Amino acid sequence: MNLERKEVLVSPADLDRQREFEEKIKAMFTERQAHPVACVDTFGCQQNVADGQKLMGMLAACGFTFTDKPAEADLVILNTCAVREHAEDRVFGNLGALTHAKKENPEMVIALCGCMAQEERVSQRIKKSYPLVNLVFGPHALWKFPELLWQVYESRKRVFSVDDEHGTIAEGIPVVREKGVKAWVSIMYGCNNFCSYCIVPYVRGRERSRDPQCVLQEVRELVESGYKDITLLGQNVNSYGNDLNLGYDFADLLADIDKIPGEYLIRFMSSHPKDATKKLFDTMARCGHVAKQLHLPFQSGNDRVLKEMNRRYTRQQYLDLVNYAKSVMPGLVLTSDVIIGFPGETEAEAMDTVSLVQEVGFDALFTFIYSPRPGTKAADMPDPASREEKQKWFDKLLEVQNGQSAALHAAYVGKTVRVLVDGKSDDEKFPLASRTEGNRLVRLKGDERLIGQFIDVKVTDSNTWALYGEPV
């Protein structure tokens, strides 16, 4: 289902109205001679991180400063993730922990937003069992956060904005980014894929792409501001542009970004195999700023399970894609997402996943034991395998992948690689953290003044998860 663009874009007048609410909130605190402090606690994916930075941008415009300690805050926002049960449990745990802080400071406002908030069963649970929560809003309402917050302050009542909407695009929301060299740029929102295990299409709405010129302008400003590692975000970046009717796709966007002058790398995620094309891989190979790194989730190596997951490709089609990408980008660093223990999966089918991992030789994997999400098709499927059996299959997958990662890393020892030094490490002997073009972690000896620079590093040691080295 494609949406009319006029339905999708938030009008300049509506955005101006939000700026007015920001000014009202700021004036209210000025009148009280108060200096409000906010804590934005983000869970889940990079898209949530990008949303959290927009919330901070709007809060800064309302006069807030920031803390990472909820007990010190006048406003606490839990920006939630609905993809896995574990993330949900943590959010409810954090809400329980805030009870004490709210007793100490009854004026504290607590807000719950993000994907979890958009689920009706969650918002109802908050309404009934968590009276300490003042504001609940989903991803669709993020652009009108200043208005919702003003309603809380003015009415002193609880506010819920979790209507089932198609979703929007709001350009020009202020952003507070982390200091450093990395930045996230959302190029599209929502998802049309309805994988049977995934709640995201139900909480983030249908796919909608930002205008290419808006994306290009944002990347240009980031490069000019000194950001050097920029990740383009979407639930499925490979379907970028389908709703724009411009004959302009994700590969075209990458090619145009690559023309922006400067010293920087472009990455992207997530990438759905069913929409990955040779044109995309050829463009990646040709573009100097595009990292030769591909995160291409395959989820299962068994065709029956892939069909039940509604992934819409086969094992062989996935292998053909990967082999083509490697042929045009020798040295490509390849990572993926995998689910073990999907409902109805047998041991033999799980081992098909392990054999695909062996065949491809991934650099790293993000691995999960299946977690049922209420409201998805898979949650209602029969699931005879026990948790213990699934754990056994999962352990086998980890054993194979960890062996591969260790071997691939060991092959770097003695070589010189180019890295971007992006921060401090938690290792005393190697105090700096850096990343190769392929996004491999390299812990470094060296001075903090190197942070933010591309440098050459000689790799001196390795393990399963990282390389170790010193500047050449």
pLDDT at 213 over 90: yes
Share of the chain above pLDDT 70, in %: 99
Under CATH, which architecture does the 7-161 domain have?
Answer: 3-Layer(aba) Sandwich (3.40)
Token duo for residue 448: 């903090």
Average per-residue pLDDT for the chain: 95
CA atoms lying within 13 Å on the CB side of residue 382:
2
Which residue, among 216, 272, 275, has the nearest Cα to 242 in the 3D structure?
A: 275
Give the model's pLDDT for residue 54: 97
64 Cβ contact list (under 8 Å, min separation 6):
36, 37, 38, 74, 75
Radius of gyration of the chain (CA): 23
The residue extents of the domains of the chain are: 7-161, 177-267+285-291, 292-410, 416-471
- Average pLDDT estimate for 112-130: 94
CA atoms lying within 13 Å on the CB side of residue 441:
18
102 Cβ contact list (under 8 Å, min separation 6):
108, 110, 132
Looking at per-residue pLDDT, the higher value among 86 and 12 belongs to 12
- Average pLDDT estimate for 274-280: 97
> How far apart are alpha carbons 104 and 116 in whole angstroms?
27
Name the least confident of 84-98, 114-128, 278-292, 378-392: 84-98
Task: Give tens-digit pLDDT for 365-409.
Answer: 999 999 999 999 999 999 999 999 999 999 999 999 999 999 999
pLDDT at 1 over 60: no
Under CATH, which architecture does the 416-471 domain have?
Answer: Beta Barrel (2.40)
| Domain boundaries 177-267+285-291, corresponding CATH code | 3.30.750.210
pLDDT at 137 over 70: yes
Task: Give tens-digit pLDDT for 312-347.
Answer: 999 999 999 999 999 999 999 999 999 999 999 999
- Helical (H) or strand (E) element with 261: none
Q: Is 144 helix (H, G, I), strand (E, B) or coil?
A: helix
Evaluate the CA torsion angle 320, 323, 325, 327 in order and state its sign: negative
- Average pLDDT estimate for 419-430: 94
Residue 238 contacts residue 272 (beta carbons within 8 Å): yes
Token duo for residue 381: 């499927």
> How far apart are alpha carbons 362 and 404 in whole angstroms?
7
> How far apart are alpha carbons 264 and 151 in whole angstroms?
42
177-267+285-291 shares its CATH topology with 292-410: yes
Number of neighbours of residue 105 by Cβ within 10 angstroms:
13
Give the model's pLDDT for residue 4: 58
The conformation of residue 181, written as its DSSP 8-state character, comes to S
CATH match for 292-410 among 3.30.70.141, 1.10.10.60, 3.30.750.200, 3.30.70.980: 3.30.750.200
Give the model's pLDDT for residue 2: 46
> How far apart are alpha carbons 469 and 461 in whole angstroms?
7
